[in-house]
Amino acid sequence: MTHSYDIRLIAPSGYPHSPDAMQRGIARLEAAGHRVTGKEVLARRDLRFAGTDAQRAADLDAFADPACPLPDIGLAIRGGYGAHPLLPMLDYERIGARLRGAPVALVGHSDFTALQCALYARSGVVTLGGPMLGADFGANELDALTWEHFWHTLASDEVHAEWAAPLTEDMTTSGTLWGGNLAMLAGLAGSPYFPAIEGGLLFVEDVAEPPYRVERMLFHLLHAGVLGAQKALLVGDFTSYRVSEYDNGYDLDVALERIAAVAGIPVVRGLPFGHGPAKLTLPFGAPGRLAVAAGRATLDFTGHPRPKTP
Amino acid sequence: MTHSYDIRLIAPSGYPHSPDAMQRGIARLEAAGHRVTGKEVLARRDLRFAGTDAQRAADLDAFADPACPLPDIGLAIRGGYGAHPLLPMLDYERIGARLRGAPVALVGHSDFTALQCALYARSGVVTLGGPMLGADFGANELDALTWEHFWHTLASDEVHAEWAAPLTEDMTTSGTLWGGNLAMLAGLAGSPYFPAIEGGLLFVEDVAEPPYRVERMLFHLLHAGVLGAQKALLVGDFTSYRVSEYDNGYDLDVALERIAAVAGIPVVRGLPFGHGPAKLTLPFGAPGRLAVAAGRATLDFTGHPRPKTP
């Protein structure tokens, strides 16, 4: 680590499942030379939420408030559920005016994807899908790829990533890189919080969703005119689900083959992104270039939010 | 029973979980004097589906084929998953031309709701949310309300229902009665298969969806401009879910209160409709009148599809 960043914690969704993990995450970030603020959000609790809807919305609106100095990084503590009620409450105009193109990286995944959708659709603000305080920085074992690619992304104008992409034909394409949690994306279709991105590179992941539900959500994006309008679908991690005897040979591979057959766009497997430990840090709304050759995918992107380098 | 109906089985979703339940359902219908055709759909199986996508779509398209005599009732054998892939395959124009206003009742619930949405949105065909062959007519114990209200609905121009509606203020309103499975409704928002119904009485139910997911789906309908445009939300059965210690007092009642507070429409509880045994038969797309007084709801509707009475 050469840079030292100001990291402000935000808690738009659930309260900490594991306070220990949160403290471990803070300790790791501080040990790496960063300053962590906003720790008070860790103590907030209202029902299953990290505070009332108003408190959680205020975490985001603080980025629009000229009286609040901007941090380098706004880091979501965890996902869960809680972003959706906030969507009509945010001051998108002021957030956009202050954050569009600003050297501030808002980072998270899972439920956080709903905010990323809304911030891009309504404010034109590019955010990052990536690690969160508890599950990632606070994991019992810190994942090396997650840690390194996060700092690499923040420190680099042009970011590179590659991974094994089985079952994918050779291809090269480019477009707006966007996506995140599939249930969050599908769950905003048809609303003003869903961005109108055409010709994009859409990445998706989810947790505890069996293959038939993944297929159903991808059909939703297809029926809503979203999936077929993209250049490619990048398939991240789908974890913690079970198939049953009733599935009768139907599994995630079959579901993705069925979608590929009707969507008419390349489906690229193996993206390290999701609820598994190893995850790339990826922009929601920045230009990317994707190539697949001999079962290996390479992704390059630029134009993502980056803190100022001192 | 005074009428004897021609009942054609259709299988747009999953294959039979329990073949015994299917046979029990057929036996009960035949013992009541009805004729059951289409039994061959019970033997179809492709992965987790009741036949290939083409076979399942053909079940529906048969209703548009002048060479196929119309039955009185088209009865879904079960739900599961499988309607969504069919939606772009159906011949809505021919289905609408033959079925709009025809004396044919297409009946089902759960995954079947997706077809009901599409048939109403694209063909103007009113269908019925109600019992299915396996889980309802083939239940170990036949539910009296389900059985009686189904035949009552088919036999009556004006249908009446009432139920205990706790936590609901007195009110009277009217509008298009529509709805069904919440995940199916939310999962078509923003697509051409979602009907543009304003001022309606929207009923919802779901199974195995914890309260935070129910809230999230209702927020989806709210964000998509659907929920706030209705006259009332009728809450059916939400079954087979668990709340956890993490929920910290958050439950379905709290979720519904949170939605009621932002949706600005009455939320009426207790509708007997969903994955529980007792269910009313309710139209998707026919005019209804709803009143709540002293914790008791009454619903009257007309204009639903009815077989010819001999």
Could you tell me if A58 lies within 8 Å of chain B, comparing CB atoms? no
Confidence of residue B310 (pLDDT cuts 50, 70, 90): low
**Residue A10: what pLDDT?**
98
- Does B181 score more than 70 pLDDT? yes
Going by their DSSP bridges, the two strands A267-268 and A232-239 should be labelled as: parallel
Quick one: pLDDT at residue A2?
Answer: 60
> Which of A45, A219, A245 has the highest number of chain B CBs within 10 A, making it the mutation to test binding with B?
A219
Q: Which residue in B138, B276, B283 sits closest to B207, CA to CA? A: B276
Chain A residue at shortest CA distance from B80: A212
Q: Where are the domains of chain A?
A: 6-158, 159-302
Amino acid code (one letter) for B259: I
**What is the reported pLDDT for B32?**
97
Q: Is A265 helix (H, G, I), strand (E, B) or coil?
A: coil
**Mind listing the pLDDT tens digit of every residue in chain A (310 residues)?**
468 999 999 999 999 999 999 999 999 999 999 999 999 999 999 999 999 999 999 999 999 999 999 999 999 999 999 999 999 999 999 999 999 999 999 999 999 999 999 999 999 999 999 999 999 999 999 999 999 999 999 999 999 999 999 888 899 999 999 999 999 999 999 999 999 999 999 999 999 999 999 999 999 999 999 999 999 999 999 999 999 999 999 999 999 999 999 999 999 999 999 999 999 999 999 999 999 999 999 999 999 999 987 5
Residues 6+ apart with CB under 8 A from B299: B160, B161, B162, B177, B201, B234, B280, B288, B289, B290
- Yes or no, beta carbons of A190 and B192 under 8 Å apart: no
Closest CA–CA distance from residue A188 to any residue of chain B (Å): 6
Distance CA B212, CA A256 (A): 27
Q: Which of A205, A215, A220, A304 is catalytic?
A: A205
Q: Strand pairing of B267-268 and B232-239?
A: parallel
Residues 6+ apart with CB under 8 A from A144: none
CA-wise closest residue to B214 among B154, B255, B155, B162: B255
What integer pLDDT is reported at residue B154 of this predicted model? 97
Least CB–CB distance from B216: residue in A47, A81, A247: A81
A85 touching chain B per CB within 8 A: yes
Is A205 an active-site residue? yes
Q: Which fold has domain A6-158?
A: Rossmann fold (3.40.50)
**Mean pLDDT value of segment B81-100:** 98
Residue pLDDT, tens place only, B140-159: 999 999 999 999 999 999 99
**ipTM for the complex shown:** 0.97
CA-nearest residue of chain B to A247? B48
Q: Examine the pLDDT at B205 and tell me if it is beyond 70.
A: yes
Q: Which of A13, A34, A109, A110 is catalytic?
A: A110
Task: Judge whether residue B243 has pLDDT over 80.
Answer: yes
In b/e form, how buried is each residue of B223-246, taking b as 16+ CB within 10 angstroms? bbebbebbbbbbbbbbeebebeee
CATH number of A159-302: 3.50.30.60
List the single residue in A193, A217, A246 with the smallest CB-CB distance to B17.
A246
Question: Is pLDDT at B218 greater than 60 in this prediction?
Answer: yes
Within this chain, domains B6-158 and B159-302 share the same CATH topology: no
Q: Please give the residue of chain A at the shortest CA–CA distance from B191.
A: A224
